[in-house]
Amino acid sequence: MVKMVMTREEVFKASGPASGANMRVKIGATRDGRITAGEAILHYQAGAFQGSPVPPGAQCAFAPYDLEHVRAVGFDVLVNRPKVAAYRAPGAPISEYAVESVVDEVAKKLNIDPIEFRLKNASREGTKASHGPKFGPIGLVETLEAAQAHDHYQSPLQPGQGRGVASGYWFNIGGQSSVTLNTSEDGTVALVVGTPDIGGSRASLGMMVAEELGVELDKVRPMIGDTSSLGYNFLTGGSRTTFATGKVAVDAARDLVSQLRERAAKIWDVPVGDILWHNGEALQKNGRGGPTETLSFRDLAESMGKTGGPLVGQASENVQGAAPSFGTHVVDVDVDRETGRVEILRYTVVQDAGKAIHPSYVEGQYQGGAVQGIGWALNEEYIYDSEGRLENAGFLDYRMPVCSDVPMIDTVIVEVPNPAHPYGVKGVGETPIVPPLAAISNAVADALGIRFSELPMSPPRVLAAIAAASSSK
């Protein structure tokens, strides 16, 4: 086995950024605001090897819109730069930045409110998506309506400030997961999963298992098992863990409940069909107990060594039916006309979660995605010298947003349940990075009257654009 350790500089130079891109988007619309056609020609940098995320970029570009005539063509372009790598909703923020910028321009040209314009053209359940299949239950319209009704959208701007709106889409995936529930004699249960927790999934999975078993959350101890301690698990990615591993965890809990009912039936010497499981207790359908009125989870755990041995719930599945999540973001900005710095004054994320199992962690994903997108929109870029050497291979010069750069990101959780999950869960991790690029660009255009078609809108670039606009007057 070889262990490879890279310095921060090597990580920047060799492990892969997101694609750069060059795009052309055309949208036609009637005077009353109905989009008649959309076309996107997308060129994504792949670096030295094929493999940019241009396929999902092309698929997602027009997903928020119900279009009769639509075409998206993607090119995977090899260039003499580092290979690219997957980066939160790979490919989608790029293409949707271009489309959502043009949508904003068309709405302005038609003098229609940008949310109203999106509502007139929004994808709904049954819409044939631009990438082919018909959408199931989706929550785009609900996010637009919630954004429109939000205090943020209703509040006035000060002179010189700008407001931008953009929507975004990501597919989400399911995949293979395995879950084991190991019961202890003290009435606790170890929830062992193989999908590492990168956003609060242990808490969400624990809550679903506690709900199924009818026990307090602190009786469930979630942990990430080693590769060899469980059946196969696909990685954490594609916004799949709370959906896919969550469904498998629920099924493992139902397997355990089935065993608990069998043990209670043995103890009471009645058919298992006569046993119900309710609020963490076994009870008989006819309302009569055996020697005791009920048998709790703890009672059955305590006696498991004498009633048949260890109680272990298990499930392994290849989960299908991931449902997409749509989001709509609203952002206010101010632009320092002397330095070119764009300040984020207020930011609101509205997104469909299907069902938010742990709302605070869902909000955390919304906020994290928005801030990652703010960095992409305003500052983050690889800067090369004239010889092609990377000049900013470190976090001192590669400008990521820090807490002092952003306001509290407000969130609204919309819930349009996914029928393929027992509680309605949709993945939420990737969609929140999709809208910020266009939302901020639209806000800057609103503030300055200058449309930026290149990112990031860093101070030198903004200052140059202001100077160019002034000199052309």
Partner 1 sequence: MAKVTLTGNLRLYTAGVTELEIKASNIRELLRNLGKQYPDLAAQLTDDLAVAIDGKIYQDDWFAAIGPDSEVHLMPRIGGG
Sheet arrangement for strand 189-193: 220-224, 189-193, 175-183, 312-319
Whichever of 206 and 435 has its CB closer to partner 1, that residue is 435
Contact 412/346 with Cβ under 8 angstroms? Answer: no
Whichever of 94 and 295 has its CB closer to partner 1, that residue is 94
* Residue 131 binds to partner 1 (criterion: CB under 8 A): yes
Dist. CA 257–CA 469, nearest whole Å: 69
Sheet arrangement for strand 409-414: 162-170, 325-335, 342-352, 409-414
Dist. CA 41–CA 105, nearest whole Å: 18
Give the nearest distance from C-beta 400 to partner 1 in angstroms: 17
Binding-residue pattern over the window 167 to 186 for partner 1, x denoting contact by CB under 8 A: ----xxxxxx----------
Dist. CA 414–CA 395, nearest whole Å: 35
* Residue 86 binds to partner 1 (criterion: CB under 8 A): yes
Q: Which member of 27, 63, 89, 350 binds partner 1 (CB under 8 A)?
A: 89
Whichever of 133 and 291 has its CB closer to partner 1, that residue is 133
Whichever of 114 and 168 has its CB closer to partner 1, that residue is 168
* Residue 134 binds to partner 1 (criterion: CB under 8 A): yes
Interface residues for partner 1 in 272-301 (CB under 8 A)?
A: none
Give the nearest distance from C-beta 232 to partner 1 in angstroms: 11
- Pair of tokens at residue 61: 């570009």
Dist. CA 326–CA 204, nearest whole Å: 21
Stretch that binds partner 1, among 49-57, 255-263, 353-361, 450-458 (CB under 8 A): 49-57
303 class by beta-carbon count within 10 Å (0-12 exposed, 13-18 middle, 19+ buried):
middle
Q: Count Cβ atoms below 10 Å from residue 355 Cβ, excluding itself.
A: 20
Whichever of 135 and 452 has its CB closer to partner 1, that residue is 135
Give long-range contacts, CB 8 A cutoff, 24+ apart: 389-397.
Answer: 390/12, 390/13, 392/12, 393/8, 393/9, 393/12, 393/13, 394/8, 394/9, 394/12, 395/8
Q: Return the closest-CA partner of residue 120 out of 138, 101, 140.
A: 140
**β-strand pairing of 35-47 with 21-29:** antiparallel
Place of tokens 């942990």: 223
Whichever of 87 and 347 has its CB closer to partner 1, that residue is 87
Q: Which member of 22, 41, 55, 341 binds partner 1 (CB under 8 A)?
A: 55
Size of the site for partner 1 (CB under 8 A): 31
Dist. CA 161–CA 455, nearest whole Å: 20
Q: Return the closest-CA partner of residue 377 out of 9, 18, 38.
A: 18
Whichever of 181 and 420 has its CB closer to partner 1, that residue is 420
Whichever of 53 and 459 has its CB closer to partner 1, that residue is 53
Type of residue numbered 252: A
Type of residue numbered 5: V
- Pair of tokens at residue 119: 């509502």
Stretch that binds partner 1, among 61-69, 190-198, 235-243, 379-387 (CB under 8 A): 235-243
Q: Which member of 19, 45, 52, 59 binds partner 1 (CB under 8 A)?
A: 59
* Residue 136 binds to partner 1 (criterion: CB under 8 A): yes
* Residue 238 binds to partner 1 (criterion: CB under 8 A): yes
User: What's 146's DSSP letter?
Assistant: H
Place of tokens 């809550």: 207
Binding-residue pattern over the window 389 to 428 for partner 1, x denoting contact by CB under 8 A: -------------------------------x--------
Q: Which member of 88, 247, 346, 358 binds partner 1 (CB under 8 A)?
A: 88
Dist. CA 276–CA 208, nearest whole Å: 19
- Pair of tokens at residue 112: 């229609």
Give the nearest distance from C-beta 92 to partner 1 in angstroms: 9
Give the nearest distance from C-beta 90 to partner 1 in angstroms: 5
Q: Count Cβ atoms below 10 Å from residue 364 Cβ, excluding itself.
A: 17
Whichever of 320 and 360 has its CB closer to partner 1, that residue is 320
* Residue 51 binds to partner 1 (criterion: CB under 8 A): no
Contact 183/296 with Cβ under 8 angstroms? Answer: no
Whichever of 55 and 290 has its CB closer to partner 1, that residue is 55
Give the nearest distance from C-beta 86 to partner 1 in angstroms: 4
Give the nearest distance from C-beta 172 to partner 1 in angstroms: 8
Dist. CA 335–CA 343, nearest whole Å: 6
Give the nearest distance from C-beta 149 to partner 1 in angstroms: 29
Give the nearest distance from C-beta 54 to partner 1 in angstroms: 10
Binding-residue pattern over the window 304 to 343 for partner 1, x denoting contact by CB under 8 A: --------------x-xxx---------------------
Give the nearest distance from C-beta 125 to partner 1 in angstroms: 9
Whichever of 133 and 273 has its CB closer to partner 1, that residue is 133
Q: Which residues bind partner 1 (CB under 8 A)?
A: 53, 55-56, 59, 86-90, 131-136, 171-176, 237-240, 318, 320-322, 420, 430
